[in-house]
Amino acid sequence: MISCVIPVRNRSEIVLLAIESALNQGNMVREIIVVDDASTDDTKEAVKKAFPQVKIVTTPKRIGPGPARNLGVQNSTGEIIMFLDSDDIWHNNHCKLLLEAMDPGFHAAYGITKNRNLRDGSSFFIPESDHLISGECLNELFRWCFMVPSSFAVTRKAFMEVGGFEAFSPGEDWFFFLKLARRYPFAAVPEIITLRFLHEGSISCRFFDKKSAGRMLLKLKKFAADYRCSQEEIARIDNMIEFTERYGATCQSVQDWYLSMKGKGLV
Domain boundaries, the chain: 2-204, 207-263
Residues 6+ apart with CB under 8 A from 103: none
- Over residues 38-57, the mean pLDDT reads 97
Is residue 39 packed enough to be buried (19+ CB in 10 Å), middle (13-18) or exposed (0-12)? buried
Q: DSSP letter at 4?
A: E
Alpha-carbon torsion 196, 41, 19, 110, what sign? Answer: positive
pLDDT band of residue 203 (cuts 50, 70, 90) is: low
C-alpha to C-alpha distance for 195 and 205, rounded to whole angstroms: 16
Q: What is the pLDDT of residue 222?
A: 95
Quote the mean pLDDT of the chain: 93
Who's near 57: CB < 8 A, 6+ residues apart? 33, 34, 35, 36, 71, 72, 75
- The lowest-confidence range among 13-17, 198-202, 248-252 is 198-202
Please report the pLDDT score of residue 204 as a whole number.
55
Mean of pLDDT values over 21-25: 97
Reported as type and span, the H/E element at residue 164 is: none
| Architecture of the domain delimited by 2-204 | Alpha-Beta Complex (3.90)
Indicate left, alpha or beta for 225 from its phi (over 0: left) and psi (-120 to 50: alpha). alpha
- The span from the CA of 88 to the CA of 14, in Å, is 8
CA dihedral 202, 126, 113, 67 (to 10 degrees): -50
| 97 pLDDT higher than 70 | yes
SS3 234: helix
Average pLDDT over residues 250-263: 89
